[in-house]
């Protein structure tokens, strides 16, 4: 069994002797950090860690991590990284003054991506998504969720989910698939919304469940998209096939989506740019993880998520990229951490916690990933030398991810770039 030893680690982050499924409230800024530490991986799993005084003498491979931090790989619990084409023309329209919602009302937005995806072959979609997947691993992502939702027909939703299945079969990192048939109402159903909901519930879901193509079900609960009642119908139907909910809600309006999702035992409620005090109380009463996607308001404008209000209320917050062609054409988790500090008032340790263990919890992967704990997968980030952990989100835009290890294997190594 091959062993890998990292020595002289300056900061070993989220090194847990008593693993927790998630961190809530004040715990998020008090994550366990070991200084001057070692980490031993055996056969792709974390075997042991501790202070350098107790460092083992030998291993098959030894890495000197002097001055560097080792963090659990990011768990990006919300993306739409299977899509047909970029939408930079809408980006230009927004610069000229149109809003994201106006663009959607004019048939752009999600419907624009749906038209393009319906025309694309499974092969093309796979090839492009595979490049995006490899790209996010270079940023340190070690687990990811990917949604459908640009198909909006039985055939194209299945096509998207099959692409995700192929990605899952080939990828070195775990992938969770989410069925998002209720992403936008296709124009053909404008006069009969119920017929589209019937299609989701009676045709799409049974086929998807039959082929085992999804782990979760999602709906976009928002004015101009789907109502709380429609989302609830989708969640209820998903539950009949054993699919828990992870939903888009409270992006532009607070309409009751959080209440409905918590009542259904949703794994997560995502976006949350707009959250009322009453909704904070609802979240406190349940197990649903509030998942914040600050790159969306960064890119399309609008409110940043009220992270302080959620964390100070004692909740476990997760952070994810929302990588998609419309509201966030970026899967760069380190930038999300910087935004969460700069625009949402989160502390550096809180952002690391939200992007690792709490993200893992939002993917139900917390027993395997999200922290440095004995027996978990050896998937972690080795940073460049850093004076402090805060240096990571502080240095927004600078790539401080030097290496990425997945199951004990170095998959990304940027140390080999020498210009002098």
What does the binding site for Fe ion look like in residue numbers (CB under 5 A)? Answer: 322
- 35 — phi, psi (to 5°)? -105, 150
Instruction: Rule CB under 6 A: choose which of 37, 200, 214, 296 binds ligand NIG.
Output: 296
Burial class (CB in 10 A: 0-12, 13-18, 19+), 420: exposed
CB 230 to ligand NIG: min, Å: 15
Stretch that binds ligand NIG, among 106-114, 354-362, 365-373, 392-400 (CB under 6 A): 106-114
Beta-strand ranges (E) seen in 293-335 are 318-319
- Answer yes or no whether residue 291 interacts with ligand NIG by CB under 6 A: no
Residue 3 or 253: the one with the smaller Cβ distance to ligand NIG is: 253
Is-contact 269 249, C-beta < 8 A? yes
Q: What backbone phi and psi angles, to 5 degrees, belong to 162?
A: -70, -35
Decide: is 251 part of the binding site for ligand NIG (CB under 6 A): yes
Q: How far is the CB of 271 from Fe ion (least distance, A)?
A: 7
Residue with smallest beta-carbon separation from Fe ion? 322
Distance CA(418)–CA(420), nearest Å, equals: 6
Using CA atoms, how far residue 188 sits from 179, 195, 196, 398, in Å, is 20, 10, 9, 46
Binding to ligand NIG by residue 327, rule CB under 6 A?
yes
| 246 in contact with ligand NIG (CB under 6 A) | no
- Which of 162, 248, 332, 376 lies at the binding interface for ligand NIG (CB under 6 A)? 248
Which one, 10 or 248, has the nearer CB to ligand NIG?
248
Contact segment (CB under 6 A) with ligand NIG among 7-15, 109-117, 344-352, 369-377 equals 109-117
Residue in 72, 297, 325, 408 binding ligand NIG, rule: CB under 6 A: 325
- Of the candidates 406, 322, 316, 402, the one whose C-alpha atom is nearest the C-alpha of residue 360 is 316
Secondary structure E strands in 243-354: 244-249, 268-271, 289-292, 318-319
Shortest distance in whole angstroms from residue 331 CB to Fe ion: 12
Residue number, 139 or 299, with CB nearest to ligand NIG: 299
Phi first, then psi, for residue 397 (nearest 5°) are: 90, -20
Distance CA 160, CA 364 (A): 22
The CB-of-78 to ligand NIG minimum distance in angstroms stands at 7
For helices 348-355 and 333-344, give the axis angle rounded to 10 degrees: 140
- In DSSP terms, 368 is beta-bridged to none
Of 326, 331, 378, 408, the residue at the interface with ligand NIG (CB under 6 A) is 326
**178 interacts with ligand NIG by CB under 6 A:** no
Report in angstroms how near the CB of residue 410 gets to ligand NIG at its nearest: 32
Neighbours of 357 (CB within 10 A): 30
Residue nearest to ligand NIG (CB): 326
Closest CA to 389 of 36, 71, 40: 71
9 binds ligand NIG (CB under 6 A): no
Q: Whose Cβ is closer to ligand NIG: residue 109's or residue 306's?
A: 109
Residues forming contacts to ligand NIG in the complex (CB under 6 A) are 109-110, 113, 220, 248, 251, 296, 322, 324-327
């Amino acid at each position: 069994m091959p062993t890998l030893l990292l020595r002289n680690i300056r900061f070993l982050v989220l090194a847990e002797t008593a693993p927790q499924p998630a961190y809530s409230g004040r715990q998020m800024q008090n994550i366990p950090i070991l200084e001057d530490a070692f980490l031993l991986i055996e056969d792709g799993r974390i075997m042991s860690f501790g202070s350098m005084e107790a460092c083992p003498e030998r291993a098959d491979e030894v890495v000197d991590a002097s001055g560097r931090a080792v963090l659990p790989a990011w768990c990006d619990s919300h993306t739409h990284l299977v899509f047909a084409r970029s939408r930079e023309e809408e980006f230009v329209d927004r610069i000229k003054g149109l809003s994201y919602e106006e663009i959607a009302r004019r048939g752009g937005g999600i419907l624009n991506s749906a038209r393009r995806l319906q025309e694309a072959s499974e092969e093309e979609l796979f090839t492009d998504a595979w490049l995006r997947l490899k790209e996010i691993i270079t940023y340190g992502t070690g687990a990811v969720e990917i949604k459908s939702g640009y198909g909006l027909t039985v055939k194209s939703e299945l096509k998207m989910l099959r692409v995700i299945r192929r990605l899952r079969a080939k990828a070195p990192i775990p992938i969770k698939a989410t069925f998002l048939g209720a992403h936008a109402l296709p124009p053909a159903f404008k006069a009969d919304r119920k017929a589209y909901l019937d299609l989701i519930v009676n045709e799409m879901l049974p086929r998807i469940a039959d082929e085992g193509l999804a782990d979760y079900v999602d709906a976009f609960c928002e004015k101009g998209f789907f109502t709380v009642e429609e989302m609830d119908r989708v969640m209820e139907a998903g539950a009949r096939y054993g699919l828990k909910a992870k939903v888009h809600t409270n992006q532009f309006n607070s309409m009751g989506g959080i209440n409905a999702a918590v009542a259904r035992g949703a794994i997560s409620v995502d976006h949350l740019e707009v959250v009322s005090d009453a909704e904070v109380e609802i979240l406190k009463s349940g197990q649903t993880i509030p998942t914040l996607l600050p790159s969306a308001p960064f890119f399309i404008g609008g409110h940043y998520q009220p992270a302080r209000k959620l964390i100070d209320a004692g909740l476990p917050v997760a952070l994810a990229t929302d990588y998609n062609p419309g509201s966030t054409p970026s899967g760069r988790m380190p930038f999300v951490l910087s935004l969460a500090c700069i625009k949402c008032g989160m502390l550096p340790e809180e952002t690391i916690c939200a992007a690792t263990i709490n993200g893992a919890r939002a993917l139900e992967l917390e027993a395997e990933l999200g922290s440095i704990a004995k027996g978990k997968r050896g998937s972690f980030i080795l940073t460049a030398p850093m004076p402090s952990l805060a240096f990571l989100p502080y240095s927004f835009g600078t790539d401080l991810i030097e290496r990425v290890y997945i199951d004990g294997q170095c998959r990304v190594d940027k140390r080999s770039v020498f210009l002098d």
